[in-house]
A and B are shown apart, each in its own frame.
Chain A
Amino acid sequence: MIHFVLLISRQGKVRLTKWYSPYSQKERTKVIRELSGVILTRGPKLCNFVEWKGYKVVYKRYASLYFCMCIDQEDNELEILEIIHHYVEILDRYFGSVCELDLIFNFHKAYYILDELLIAGELQEPSKKTVARLISAQDSLVETAKEQRSTISNIIAQATK
């Protein structure tokens, strides 16, 4: 089971956090501080796993971003690397060659995609296409709602003129 997902920038800024096990706000801050200290200082050629408080943290760097997932001792580390890559590919398709700035200004979108990929710390969908389809369906739902709203407010505005 994945206990949490973190996206940390090279400078140690948090770009995304998702907690599947209960951590209080205080613990969350502590976890992030400790892990960024460990992970950001590791050399480039070393393995992608860090043992941490009885858990394992699998991380992978993509450009300036570190994608980290914390798992149990007996979980498959290599598979988690694949899941991270899976997520990155979906982000890439969605944003069109994703960069850190996309994830900063559209962080909620990154969360929506993650929610289509993982629930309860387990993988939900192995097909990138399906995830993309579900996300765009929901995005268009939001768009329609917005349009409706603006037409309604236009009508009201015109009526009250």
Chain B
Amino acid sequence: MNPFSSGTRLRDMIRAIRACKTAAEERAVVRKECAAIRSSINENDHDYRHRNIAKLMFIHMLGYPTHFGQMECLKLIASAEFPEKRIGYLGLMLLLDERQEVLMLVTNSLKQDLNHANQYIVGLALCALGNICSAEMARDLAPEVERLLQFRDPNTRKKAALCAIRIIKKVPDLAENFINPAAALLKEKHHGVLITGVQLCTDLCKVSAEALEYCRKKCTGGLVRTLKDVANSPYAPEYDIAGITDPFLHIRLLRLLHVLGQGDADVSDLMNDILAQVATKTETNKNAGNAILYECVETIMSIEDNGGLRVLAINILGRFLSNRDNNIRYVALNMLMKAITVDTQAVQRHRATIVECVKDSDASIRKRALELVYLLVNESNVKPLTKELIEYLERSDQEFKGDLTAKICSIIAKFSPEKIWYIDQMLKVLSEAGNFVKDEVWHALIVVISNASDLHGYTVRALYRAFQTSAEQETLVRVAVWCIGEYGDLLVKNVGVLDIEDPITVTESDAVDVVEVAIKHHTSDLTTKAMSLIALLKLSSRFPSSSERIQDIIIQNRGSLVLELQQRSIEFNSVIEKHHNIRSALVERMPVLDEATFIGRRAGSTPATVSTSNGPSLNLPNGVTKPPAAPLVDLLDLSSDDAPAPSSSGADFLQDLLGVDLSPASKQPGISGTNQAPRTGTDVLLDLLSIETPPASPITDILSSSQVYKSPHASLEGLSSPSALSTRAATPAGAAPMMDLLDGFVPNSPISEDNGPVYPSIVAFESSSLRIMFNFSKARGNPQTTSIQATFTNLSPNVYTDFIFQAAVPKFLQLHLDPASSNTLPAGGNGSITQNLRVINSQHGKKSLVMRMRIAYKSNDEDILEEGQVSNFPRGL
């Protein structure tokens, strides 16, 4: 006999493990036990098989690998004795899951046990089948289960019913076989059978329309009677909980009625009386009663309209909301989310209480309440609600600030009545929680500021003040630095003072101080520093008297370890030093950013351009970075002056390239001008700048100009490969050439730009009324993450309102849904909704994406639900 397999008893092993003082000791004990169990398994030791599995289960719970015991479970199950089978099935359920191939081997044993003469062995087999069966096993063993639904022993019937639930979830096609036997269970008196029968019918109705129709016709009356009986039942000690007979049965009956009544007015009518009775008569001082009421409210809210009942339900929720028990308040908030689609006014009445719940000490309640508040906001209450939320932002926990900030920003953007209010609120949020604000939010703020020309002065002064108190908030600093760079002169000269403002005196050097603090602060990241450098360059032209000081600050970054900053500071220094004649033109104020284009871009109507508009050096994912990025880009190319290539030849190439590269983009007279431009690089650049000045639509202009600026680099690259040049010229101005140009650039730049490989768009879903397109992009260096832009198009002649898109993915994927651009979809394809999704594929390279989706909307006041599955994702996502 093996020296190990004499074996400790289970109890002794547990004691030994519990006696361990350190994790290392525990590992040692477990290792020794596992070694003993393995050798016992190898010897095919019958007597200890039982004990070995028991030990392995304990070891499994501690988190150690126990796969080597799986086959032993199968052997135990195959044994003839009840004790062996009992522990074998337990081990099977714990040590295996449905995805293991070994499981298939047990199918035959299960089949035999399902036909066993001993009802307890049948029970064990049903339990195992119900807990871990796979789709294949479900198919193989469904007939057995179907037969057992009519077995004489009620305990077997109830187990078979739950087993059937697992089977129809795995293989929905099998549902129709179970409809009749399941409906028969509803007439049972045994509570266990009844409860499982009701549950089986509920699940059948969810997967099969046929079952739903059948139950509506044949079972509704009986169910209502059963509920009435159990609700009026006298004291029954066996099923009593807190004075209520079998709350579990109550709840399951209510849930089945919910499924049957939804979408069927006649069936809903049948259940009105009993629902009213349950809603009014149920005892509410114990959890069991509240659980029933909660389910009852849910049923009332979901079945077809009955005004009186709904008032009753909303009142119950009101009572719940003012309950002292946190659990009850939580479920009330949860249910009000659903009630809001039914009766917004009624929910609005509880607004004050709900806002208080946002400030609760319980994170679960806060989260629910915040989501509810978000749904409650409308044009008329946005101001007080935002004020309240921002005030709370100051006091909230750090971990809650992220969620809260995102919701506040979203509310402000969605409902802001006027620009000044938008700017004011955003500045408050930035100064309170700027570190939690997402990039696209402050990008949007800059676009709004740039458009509000009468508020430029006001904004830059407000930002200056905010900076004095909240310099630690990164995004506030960025916006402040950008605005001071652009509108620094308005700050100093007090231009456009509004009546509501306090007067403020800011000198030129104060303004430069702000930028200096930003660039020198140790927490500032690369983006902030780069933006500060640009702001400094701009200020050097706006404030000629401070020019020297600015130059000093810029020079200090010549030694920066970040190549990007080093290069910029050297270039900017040379602009300030040597090129006075072009400087003012070079750093002119940014043209107004077009809001409509920006929104369209954000929504993804022109995804390709968005991705290219990223500055090559700044690692920012959005089109709005252009304001800071574009100057960087163009100035970058000034470096061709300092570049070793002789400037005259550089200019030659510039001209050549301009002629080719720009022509598809625009036909402005300036181009012909450049062809005859003098042969010095700077003058050419001057001309280039003049192209930029007459902007019709600023965004495209910036695009084209930045493209121009990039060309010299391409030209240098093109020296070696003229053919590449011509292909580039042939492509229309847009994404592809830009990306090529950028690529030629990457070796210079320390940060890789984030345009990933290109994937073809797909039609993810198409029905007679709706089409969904998916565009894909992937960040380079992060192949697991895919950004998907979903575009929804309405193909019917009716407008869709309350449009909601939901998606689900298998476990190996993670899905993040951003809010949609709108919830109203115009008719006949005249416009679209876009929504961004982010999918993280933990099995990238092994499995491709799959997604199931559900789209709900209202057309002609009719709720419509569409569902689909997307499996045609491009490979390699």
Q: Which A residues lie at the B interface, using CB under 8 A?
A: 14-20, 22-25, 27-29, 32, 43, 45-51, 76-79, 81-83, 86, 104-105, 107-108, 111-112, 115, 119-120, 122-130, 134, 137-138, 141-142, 145-146
Contacts and interface: CB of A to CB of B under 8 A. Distances in A.
A51 B54 CA distance: 34
Q: Which of A32, A48, A108, A141 has the most CB of B within 10 A?
A: A108
Given A123-B195, A137-B120, A111 B291 contact: no
Given A22-B99, A104-B18, A122 B63 contact: no
Most buried by B among A50, A51, A77, A123: A123
A119 B191 contact: no
Interface of B: 11, 14, 18, 54, 57-58, 61-63, 65, 67, 81-83, 86-87, 90, 93-94, 97-99, 120, 123, 126-127, 130-131, 155, 158-159, 162-163, 165-166, 169, 191-192, 195-196, 199, 238-239, 241, 246-249, 251-252, 255, 287-288, 290-291, 294-295, 298, 326-331, 334, 361-365, 367-368, 811
B248 A45 contact: no
Contacts of A122: 162, 165, 196, 199
18 contacts: A16-B61, A23-B811, A29-B63, A43-B362, A78-B287, A82-B287, A83-B248, A108-B57, A108-B87, A119-B131, A123-B195, A124-B158, A125-B192, A127-B239, A138-B120, A142-B82, A142-B83, A145-B82
A15 to B, nearest CB: 7
A15 B162 contact: no
Given A47-B327, A79-B251, A119-B130, A22 B97 contact: yes
Contacts of B83: 141-142, 145-146
A24 B368 CA distance: 30
B295 A76 contact: yes
B99 A78 contact: no
Which 5 A-B residue pairings sit nearest by Cβ, starting from the closest? A78-B291, A47-B326, A119-B162, A119-B130, A120-B166
A20 B811 CA distance: 15
B293 to A, nearest CB: 9
B488 to A, nearest CB: 47
B330 A47 contact: yes
A127 B191 contact: yes
A141 B120 contact: yes
A24 B96 CA distance: 9
A74 to B, nearest CB: 8
A20 B159 CA distance: 15
B61 A25 contact: no
Contacts of B65: 25
A45 B166 CA distance: 37
Given A78-B294, A108-B90, A127 B192 contact: yes
Best-surrounded residue of A29, A105, A120, A142 (most CB of chain B within 10 A): A120
Contacts of A126: 191-192, 195, 239, 246, 248-249
A17 B192 CA distance: 24
Given A78-B294, A78-B327, A126-B192, 17 more contacts: A14-B62, A23-B811, A24-B99, A47-B326, A51-B367, A79-B295, A86-B248, A105-B14, A115-B127, A119-B166, A120-B130, A123-B252, A125-B158, A125-B195, A126-B246, A129-B238, A146-B83
Contacts of B199: 122-123
Contacts of B248: 79, 82-83, 86, 123, 126
Contacts of A25: 65, 67
Contacts of A127: 191-192, 238-239
Nearest to A28: B63
Contact of B63 (A32, A45, A49, A137): A32
Contacts of A14: 61-63
Nearest to B329: A47
Contacts of A43: 361-362
Given A77-B330, A120-B163, A137-B120, A82 B97 contact: no
A27 B159 contact: no
B101 to A, nearest CB: 13
A56 B295 CA distance: 16
A45 B364 CA distance: 12
Nearest to B293: A78
Question: Which residue, of A50, A111, A146, has the highest number of chain B Cβ atoms within 10 A?
Answer: A111
A142 B328 CA distance: 44
A140 B459 CA distance: 82
Contacts of B334: 77
A130 B11 CA distance: 29
A77 to B, nearest CB: 6
B158 A141 contact: no
B284 to A, nearest CB: 11
A81 B57 contact: no
A155 to B, nearest CB: 17
A150 to B, nearest CB: 12
Contacts of A123: 195-196, 199, 248, 252
Contacts of B82: 138, 141-142, 145
Contact of A120 (B18, B90, B131, B155): B131
Nearest to A47: B326
B291 A82 contact: yes
A137 B82 CA distance: 12
Contact of B365 (A23, A47, A82, A124): A47
A19 B92 CA distance: 12
Most buried by B among A25, A122, A134: A122
Nearest to B289: A78
Contact of A145 (B63, B81, B159, B298): B81
A13 to B, nearest CB: 8
A29 B367 CA distance: 26
B327 A81 contact: yes
A79 B247 contact: yes
A145 B18 CA distance: 31
Contacts of B18: 104
A137 B153 CA distance: 14
Nearest to B165: A120
A46 B327 CA distance: 8
Question: By CB atoms of chain A within 10 A, which of B98, B365, B811 has the most?
Answer: B811
Nearest to B252: A123
A107 B58 contact: yes
A46 B326 contact: yes
Contacts of B90: 108, 111-112, 115
Nearest to A130: B192
A83 B195 CA distance: 13
Nearest to A134: B155
A82 B247 contact: yes
Contacts of A108: 54, 57, 87, 90
A82 B61 contact: no
Nearest to A16: B61
**Which of A24, A82, A112, A134: most chain B CB closer than 10 A?**
A82
A23 to B, nearest CB: 7
Contacts of A111: 57, 90, 94
A117 B326 CA distance: 27
A22 B93 CA distance: 11
Contacts of B246: 126
A1 to B, nearest CB: 8
Contacts of A16: 61
A18 to B, nearest CB: 8
Contact of B127 (A15, A29, A105, A119): A119
A72 to B, nearest CB: 12
A20 B165 CA distance: 12
Contacts of B131: 18, 20, 115, 119-120
A88 to B, nearest CB: 13
A124 B364 contact: no
Contacts of A112: 86, 90
B113 to A, nearest CB: 14
Contacts of A17: 61, 94
A142 B124 CA distance: 13
B182 to A, nearest CB: 13
B327 A49 contact: yes
